[in-house]
Structures are given as C-alpha cells and as structure tokens.
Structure 1
Amino acid sequence: MLKSILTVGGWTMASRVLGFLRDMLIAASLGAGPVADAFFIALKLPNLFRRLFGEGAFNAAFVPAFAATLTTEGAAQARFLAERMSTLMTLWLSLLTVLGMVFMPQVLTVLAPGFTDDPLRFGLAVEMTRITFPYLLLICLTALISGVLNGLDRFGAAAGAPVLFNLLSMAALWILSPIVPTPGHALAWGVTISGAAQLLLVWIAAARAGMPLRIVSLPRITPEVRLVLRRMVPGLVGAGVTQLNLAVDVVIASLLPAGAVSYLYYADRIGQLPLGVIGAAVGTAMLPLLVKQLRSGRPLSAHRTMNRALELSLALSLPAAAAQAVLAWPIISALFVRGAFGELEAAATSVALVAYALGLPAFVLVKAFVPGFFARGDTATPVKISLVIVVLNLAMNLILTRYLAHVGIALATGIAAWVNVIALAVFLRRRGHWRPDRRLRRRVPRLLMATLAMAVVLLAMRALLPDPVGSTMRLAFLAAYVVVGLGVYFGLAHAIGGLHLGEIRRRR
C-alpha cells in the first residue's frame, strides 16, 4: 500500500506544484476582483458535480465492485461491468450537461445569489460556467477509467492526469487571452480542453493494461450493474451532503463583499497540496487493497492496513497543518503578491489559510477512515454522519461569518471535519472494523511532539528574521522556512520513534 501511496502522492505533488504556478499566474492576471470571482465559480460548479457523480458516489460503489469482480470472476467480467457503467454514465451526464448549460442563469441564482446584485460578476459567471460545464462529463468518465486502473493496481496514469489540467490551463491563459474577452474566459476554455486530454490519457493507459473500454449501444442492467447502482444511492446522498457543505460555503461567500470567493479559493489551494498528496493518495490506495483483503478472508491484514494508513496520514498532515498556520503570511505573500494581487488581498487570504490549516489533519483522516466503510459495501453510515455534519457546518457558517467574515467559512469547515472524523472513528471501532494497534498508539504522541517542536522553531525564525522585500526574496525566505521545518520535524520524529524513514525508503 505504501508504494501505491507514494506513486499517487508523487504525481499529485507534481500536479499541485504546477497548480501553484497556475494560481500564481491567475493571481497576477486576475487578482481578487469580479473576473476572478466569476472564474472561480465557473470552476467550482463542474467540480462540485464531478465530486458528486464521478469521484464521490460512483467511485464508492464502483471500485469495490470492480475489484471484487476482478478477483473472483476475472478480467473479462470486470471489463464487462466497466463498459456498462461507462455507457450509463455517458448517457446520464450528457443530459445533465445540456440541461446545466441551458439553465445556467437559474443555477447560478441558487449557487451564487450574491452575484445577482452585481450584473458584471453574474454575467461573467454565466458565460464562463457554460464554457467549463462540459468538463463535468469528461472528468467523470476520466474518474471511471481511473477507478478501473486503480482496481488493476495501476495508479500512475490516473494520478498523473491532473498534471494536464494545470499545464493546459496555463497554456490557455497565455495563448487565448489576447483573443477572448477576458483572461478568465481563456482559463475557462483551458478547463474544458484539459478534460478531454485527461480522458484520452487514462483511456490509453487502460487499453495498455488490457482493459480498453468502449461505449456499448444498449447497456444491460446486469445484477452487477444493479448492485453498483443500488450502492450508489446512499453514496449519492452522502457525497451530495459533502458537496452541499461546499455549496453552502460558496453561497455564503457570494453574499460577502467582492473578493471573498477569491480569498477562500487561494487559501484553499494551499490546503489542497497536503490534502491531495496525502489524503487522496491514502484513500485511493487503501480502497482496492481493503476490498481484496476482506474478500480473501484476511481481516487482521485489513486492520493493519488501516492503522498504517492513519499513521502515515498523521505523520504528514500534522506538520503540514502546523507549518501552514505558522507560515500563512510568508506562503501567501511569496506565491501570490504580484501584479493585480496586492498585500491587502494577501492579508485577507493568509488569515483564511490559518483557519483552513486547523482542519487539515481532519480532512486527511476522513479520506483514511471512509474506505473502511466502502470496502465492506457500507455506503449508508457515512451518509448518516454527513447529514449531521452539513447541518453543523451551516449553523457555524451563519454564526461565524457574522464576526469573522470569510474566515468564519474556513473555520466552520474545519470544525465540521473534526466532528466527522470522530464520528467515523467511533462507528468503525464499535463495529470491530478498526482498532488502533500498539504501534499507532505509541507513535502518534511522538508525532505531535515533533510537530510542536517544528512550529516553535518556525515561529522563532519569523520573529528573528526581517520581513523580505520583493518576490525573489520572499520565495527565498519561504524556501528556507521549508527546509528548516522539514529538517526539524523529520529529524526529531525519527530520533524519538515517531516514524522511521528507512521504512519509506525501502518501499519507494
């Protein structure tokens, strides 16, 4: 599992680094004004549906079914299942895409009601979202084929596909900006083009793995397909609740003064680096492995797999969260202060980053706990928990934004994530599906000690060093913080037994 996590995490790291370069270009070109707010809404809407239909409910139901069919019935039956599901997904999402493009003004009236009082932002958001909405269909099919590749224990192409998103977005910004109304329109076209490129990449990878998928003319609702669809129902509700949380954040942010959507976007992008590299990698690698271990009657192996995943999640997310909280201003100022993005925008964004950082370990742990339910075919329990979480998130949003503006949205999201983690852990423990072993109980306090020591060192550096001037010096200082922080944390964690670097080196 660790080798698979490192494969997914490595590609995700490459994608996130390119994503930072892309966001730096966006910040310099768009800043945090009306065009930026409109583009971020245009990007968020298809991504919301992608997480709902592509990576959320569908993968939760499909990947265990595909892995189980592959293990028990062979590659031919697994391919048969994948082709039927891809055809159903194509038909359904094509209809949704067309309806969304036709009724986009009405959709955005619900999703971003604060934009309706600003004709400029609302008009731009409608135009750009119509451009990006076909990305929904393309990226959901990409997610399906990625699930096939993950079930085959081939993680590279699926994890590397998002690299194309960032590369093509930057290329579109550079090439198309002179010939379209705004740089936001250029970025919107880049989103859709990248969806087609990602789909082509994973399809070729699946074909090379001996699983070339095709669209069948009349999909049959076989028992296997019916099982996936039946398991999707609670998964859709659960994923829908999660995405409703995100939608609530957008709705409330749209009601705040101009720039709030952009501040939250830039701060969230920083948080997405460890979340994508650690959380997504752990969840992606765990699910097919847990399915195979449980199907082959090895429950103790499944327990060990979950404990090692939790251990790795905490070992990497705790220092990442502490570093983001302590270095919020150096990070934001080094990456984004240039062009249309000034120090006032950086100050508002850095405070939001501190709030997001408080919830970062929880976001990662959710990714590690949820496969424990999905691998057993239980998509209902996470749904019930999520229903409580969405109510909690909404209530805290309404309360905290009154006093903290956009920062209250980020803080409410983090608190809700911690409640989610606690509930997932309690249910798994009560059912005997997870219990923390001696190694996990011994290492977690040591990881916390190493994290605290790193935070103290970074705070001391910030107090002693002068504030850098200019983009180059800011980046140099940030690099110094990163190098020192990594050295202190991993050196101390290794010395006191929080983690052993040799284990990671042996499994690369």
Structure 2
Amino acid sequence: MAKAAVLTVGISLTGTALGLGRDLLLARYFGAGGGSDAFLVAWTVPETAYVLVVEGALTLLMIPLFSAALARGDDARAVVATTLPRITFALVVLCAAVLAGAPLLVHALAPGLADPGLAVTCTRYTALTVLTFGVAGYLSAALRAHQVFGPPAALTLVYNVGIVGCMILLHARFGVVSAAGGVALGGLLMVLVQVPAYLRRVGLPHGWHLGGSALTAGAVVPVVAYTLTRQAQVFVERFVASDLSAGTISHLNYAQKIDQIPMLVALLVCAVTFPTLARDVAAGDVAKARHRVEADLRTVTALILVSVAFLIAYAPQVVAVLLQHGEFTAADTAATATVMRVYALGVLGHSFVGVLARPYYADGQRTWFPVAVMAAGLGLTAVLATLGTPLFGAPAIAAANGIGITVAAVLLLTGLRRRVLPISVRAIAGAVGRLALVGAAACGAGLFAARVMTGLTPLPQAIAGGIVVLAVFAGLARLAGFPEIAAVTTAVSRRLRHDD
C-alpha cells in the first residue's frame, strides 16, 4: 500500500503540476475577463463530471462491487457484463442532453454572464467529457479494485496534456475555445491511457448481460445525489459571482485551484486506501476499517494544515509567481490573493468530506444521510453567499463556501460513529485541535518572515517562507505528539545519517 501511495502521489503530482501550468497559461493568454469567465462557466461541466464519475459516484459504487467480487473469489468480468452496458447507455443519453441543452445550462449557471454565446460554444465542446470521463472512471474503479494504481493516477496528467497542448497550438486562432477543445481531447486521453492495463488485468466479459444488476436505482440515486450536492457549491459560487464585475468568476477559480492542490495530494492517499477499506468492510473487520479511517483523517489533517498555513501567509507571493504574467495584472493578483486566503480556511472541511464519505458507501449500502448533510451545507452556503456578496463581494462567496463545507464535514464525522464505524470522534477532534494551533503558529512565523523579507521578489520570499512554515509546523507537531509527523521526521533523520 505504501508503494502504491508513493506511485499514485508521484504520478498525480506531475499531473497537478501540469494543471497548474494549464491555469498559468489560461491566465497568460486570456487574463481574468469576459472570455475567461465564459470558459470557466463551460468548465463547470467537466468539473461536475469528474467528481461525479471519476472520483465520485462511480468510485463509491464500483470499487465496493469489484472488491466484494474479488473477496469472494468471483470473476470481475461478471460485474463488468452486468454494469458497463447500463452505465454507458446512461452516459450517452446525458452527454446528448448537455449538448442539446447548452444554452439553457449556461443561462441557469450564470445568468449575468457578459458573453453567453461564447460560453455555449465552449460548453458544447466540454459536454463530450460526460461520456469520456464516465468510461475513464469505470476503468479506474476496476483497476484500483485490482490494486493497479499507475494508469488511474495518470488521468490528471493526460487530461492536462490535452488542454495545454491545444491552448499552446491553437489559442492565437481560436481564442479561449482552444481550451474547451483541449478539455474534450483530454477526456479521450483519459480513456486511452487505461485501456491496455484494463485489458491485461480485468479483460472483457465473454458476453453482455442486460438483466439484473447490483446497480439498481436504489443503490445509484443516493450516491449520485450526494456527489451532485457536494459539487453544487461551485454552481452557487458562479451563479452569485456572475452578477459581479467581469473577471470575478476567474478570480474565484484561480484562488480555488491553488488552494485545492494540497487537498488533491492528501486525498490521493485515500484513493489508494479505499479499496482496502472496502474489502475490510466486506469481510466484517470493523477494527481494521476504523483504524484505516482514523489514520487517513490524521494524515489528511497534517498535510492540509501545513499547506493552509503557507497559503495564508504567502498568498500574494504565490499568485504573483504563478499567474501574474501576460494578461493577468497586478490588480488581478491582489483580488485573487484576497479570495485565496479566505478559501484556504475551508480546505480542511473539503478534505474531511472527501475522506468521510467513503465509509458510508464502502459496503454498497443505500444511505441518504450524506446527501442530507451535503444539502444542509449547500443551503447554508447559498444563504451566506447571497446575503454577504452585496456587502463584501467575492470574499463573501469564498467564506460561505468554507463555512458550508465545514458544517457538512462535522455532521459527517459525528454521523459516521453512530451509523457506520465506531471511530473516536474525541480523538480526531483532539488531533485537529492540536494541529490547528500548530498551523496557526506556523502561519504566524511565516507572516513574520514575510515582513522581514519585504525587499525580496515574490519567488525567493515564497521559497524561504515555505521552509520557515514547514520547519515550524513539523517541529511543533512533533512536540505535540503527533505520531505521523514523528514517524516521517525519524525516517528522514535515519536516511540523512545513512547518507552521511
């Protein structure tokens, strides 16, 4: 599992870095204005499709099915024979619906958009990802259930290769539509990169069965509803922000993408452990499953809080280094950095939701509790964003996002003990509290260091500040008795002594 985690994180980090390059090019070529806003509204389709069928519903549905079949010693191709035809048919229908309904979709998402026609054109390109992402998510679930993690980890990498390649080659001729075409190409590459491994490890069934299947409406609908209510926070943000000045949607997007990088890295660990968790639950080993979830939560907390401390302390420098080029101005940097600092406060909540939802669906149970929790968080986000935006602008949208998702995370955590696994909520809360204090101290040290380094340019400030924040966080976390930090620092110390 450790080797799989290292492989997954390594490949996925490359893809994430390329995604950062994608956003940098988007800012350089198109800045933060009406054109970039139109593309980002169209990008809502692949963003939703990704969380729904790559890392959302299909993952929560198919990995338990495949894992249970493998635990019984059954042939996984029997699962494929009964599930893939239904899923493919549903994806084709949904893809066609998005293509045909693109004008209505754009109006519903962003009624105040400056250039809705451009957004409709981009949406019709991105609609193809509903089908390609769905097939890619299915292949990924099958491979991960078979403990094959390399090709699924490459999804983000090849997806961004398609977008970056199209933007570089075609932006001068087609403008922001080149990025939408790259999204369509990237979705196709996500399928192709997994096909060889899938044919070797899983294979095609001897025949297709259109009859009975474990994927009944009662099993599918709660998972789909949970995934959509989780993603709907983005819908709320873009709906409310469309009435603000041109470029606001872009500022929110750039800030969120940077803040989400540590979350994506942290959740990659859970992507590796989820098949094991599903097998433990299927085997009735509650103690192992509980230990797995608690360890994941502690690891995610440490990774997120050290990153949040750095991002809050050095948001202007990070945005300037990454995005302030070409059409992206200093004013855009200031606006994005302000929003980014607010968004950062909700990243831990987003990460906890990503970890905590998995146990609810690990044994294929049909529970509506996560849906109700996410709906409550979404409602709170919508109310706070609507009330706060006229007074505080885009930062109010980011704050509403963080408050809503944090409330949802707390409800999922407390509900998990009562409904699924007897995890120690007190132990988890204690670990989060101690590390939050450590993170606050590290952030304070970073802010102080930034004041000392005011004469430097943003890049050396960010690098030196990152070292300061990391050193303070690691030292204080070890003193606080956090076992994962102690294990990492001990391993590093041994390796350094061995190298000497």
Same fold, judged at TM 0.5 (above): yes
1:239 corresponds to which of 227, 233, 236: 227
Letter in 2 for 1:212: G
The alpha-carbon distance between structure 1 residues 193 and 225, as it changes in their structure 2 partners (threshold 3 A), is same
Within-5 A mapping of 1:119-198: 121-178=115-172, 180-182=173-175, 184-198=176-190
CA distance in 2, matches of 1:185, 1:430: 49
Q: Secondary structure at the match of 1:193?
A: helix
Give 1:434 shift: 3.1
Give 1:212 shift: 2.5
Q: After superposition, give the CA deviation of every residue in 1:450-488 in whole Å (9 maximum; x if it has no partner).
A: 3233112101111111254xxxx4223212222222222
Asked whether the 8 Å contact 1:15–1:166 carries over to 2, the reply is: yes
CA distance in 1, matches of 2:272, 2:362: 12
Q: Do structure 1's residue 68 and structure 2's residue 68 form an aligned pair? A: yes
Q: Do structure 1's residue 381 and structure 2's residue 375 form an aligned pair? A: no
CA distance in 2, matches of 1:405, 1:356: 14
Q: Do structure 1's residue 303 and structure 2's residue 290 form an aligned pair? A: yes
The alpha-carbon distance between structure 1 residues 465 and 429, as it changes in their structure 2 partners (threshold 3 A), is same
Asked whether the 8 Å contact 1:38–1:124 carries over to 2, the reply is: yes
The alpha-carbon distance between structure 1 residues 215 and 333, as it changes in their structure 2 partners (threshold 3 A), is farther
Give 1:8 shift: 2.9
Letter in 2 for 1:457: A
1:479 corresponds to which of 432, 444, 463: 463
Q: Do structure 1's residue 36 and structure 2's residue 30 form an aligned pair? A: no
Give 1:502 shift: 6.7
CA distance in 2, matches of 1:443, 1:2: 23
CA distance in 2, matches of 1:130, 1:93: 15
The alpha-carbon distance between structure 1 residues 253 and 441, as it changes in their structure 2 partners (threshold 3 A), is closer
Letter in 2 for 1:319: V
Letter in 1 for 2:417: R
The alpha-carbon distance between structure 1 residues 154 and 48, as it changes in their structure 2 partners (threshold 3 A), is same
CA distance in 2, matches of 1:316, 1:486: 10
How many residue pairs match? The answer is: 491
Q: After superposition, give the CA deviation of every residue in 1:423-452 in whole Å (9 maximum; x if it has no partner).
A: 011111224613228975775454334323
Asked whether the 8 Å contact 1:337–1:346 carries over to 2, the reply is: yes
Q: After superposition, give the CA deviation of every residue in 1:387-422 in whole Å (9 maximum; x if it has no partner).
A: 222211111111111212111111111101110111
CA distance in 2, matches of 1:372, 1:308: 13
Within-5 A mapping of 1:200-239: 200-208=192-200, 210-213=201-204, 219-226=209-216, 229-239=217-227
Q: Do structure 1's residue 20 and structure 2's residue 20 form an aligned pair? A: yes
Q: Secondary structure at the match of 2:258?
A: helix
Give 1:340 shift: 0.5
Asked whether the 8 Å contact 1:238–1:386 carries over to 2, the reply is: yes
2:251 corresponds to which of 255, 263, 276: 263
Asked whether the 8 Å contact 2:309–2:443 carries over to 1, the reply is: yes
Q: Secondary structure at the match of 2:245?
A: coil
Asked whether the 8 Å contact 1:24–1:335 carries over to 2, the reply is: yes
CA distance in 1, matches of 2:34, 2:420: 51
User: 166-175 or 352-361: which moved more?
Assistant: 166-175
Asked whether the 8 Å contact 1:87–1:215 carries over to 2, the reply is: no
Asked whether the 8 Å contact 2:82–2:213 carries over to 1, the reply is: no
Give 1:87 shift: 2.2
The alpha-carbon distance between structure 1 residues 450 and 6, as it changes in their structure 2 partners (threshold 3 A), is farther
Asked whether the 8 Å contact 1:10–1:277 carries over to 2, the reply is: no
Q: Do structure 1's residue 342 and structure 2's residue 329 form an aligned pair? A: yes
Asked whether the 8 Å contact 1:446–1:497 carries over to 2, the reply is: no
The alpha-carbon distance between structure 1 residues 14 and 215, as it changes in their structure 2 partners (threshold 3 A), is farther
CA distance in 2, matches of 1:506, 1:39: 45
Asked whether the 8 Å contact 1:264–1:352 carries over to 2, the reply is: yes
- Hey, what does 1:460 align to over in structure 2? 448
Q: After superposition, give the CA deviation of every residue in 1:230-249 in whole Å (9 maximum; x if it has no partner).
A: 31111122222222222122
CA distance in 1, matches of 2:297, 2:63: 21
- Hey, what does 1:114 align to over in structure 2? 112
1:422 corresponds to which of 406, 410, 421: 410
Q: Secondary structure at the match of 2:470?
A: helix
Give 1:82 shift: 2.4
- Hey, what does 1:368 align to over in structure 2? 355
The alpha-carbon distance between structure 1 residues 68 and 403, as it changes in their structure 2 partners (threshold 3 A), is same
- Hey, what does 2:482 align to over in structure 1? 498
Letter in 1 for 2:57: A
User: 148-157 or 56-65: which moved more?
Assistant: 56-65
Asked whether the 8 Å contact 2:86–2:210 carries over to 1, the reply is: no
Letter in 1 for 2:323: F
Letter in 1 for 2:408: N
Letter in 1 for 2:286: P
User: 493-502 or 243-252: which moved more?
Assistant: 493-502
Q: After superposition, give the CA deviation of every residue in 1:113-137 in whole Å (9 maximum; x if it has no partner).
A: 112xx3xx11111111111211221
Q: Secondary structure at the match of 1:258?
A: coil
Asked whether the 8 Å contact 2:94–2:130 carries over to 1, the reply is: no
The alpha-carbon distance between structure 1 residues 204 and 113, as it changes in their structure 2 partners (threshold 3 A), is same
Q: Secondary structure at the match of 1:87?
A: helix
Give 1:499 shift: 3.6
- Hey, what does 1:285 align to over in structure 2? 272
CA distance in 2, matches of 1:110, 1:441: 39
Asked whether the 8 Å contact 2:53–2:133 carries over to 1, the reply is: no
CA distance in 1, matches of 2:206, 2:228: 27
Asked whether the 8 Å contact 1:443–1:499 carries over to 2, the reply is: no
- Hey, what does 1:489 align to over in structure 2? 473
Asked whether the 8 Å contact 1:333–1:346 carries over to 2, the reply is: yes
Q: Secondary structure at the match of 1:113?
A: coil
Asked whether the 8 Å contact 2:347–2:402 carries over to 1, the reply is: yes
User: 122-131 or 494-503: which moved more?
Assistant: 494-503
2:301 corresponds to which of 310, 314, 322: 314
The alpha-carbon distance between structure 1 residues 61 and 339, as it changes in their structure 2 partners (threshold 3 A), is same
Q: Secondary structure at the match of 2:43?
A: helix
Letter in 2 for 1:224: A
1:250 corresponds to which of 229, 238, 241: 238
CA distance in 2, matches of 1:375, 1:283: 13
Q: Identical aligned pairs, as a percentage?
A: 27
Q: TM-score, normalised by structure 1?
A: 0.90
CA distance in 1, matches of 2:291, 2:353: 17
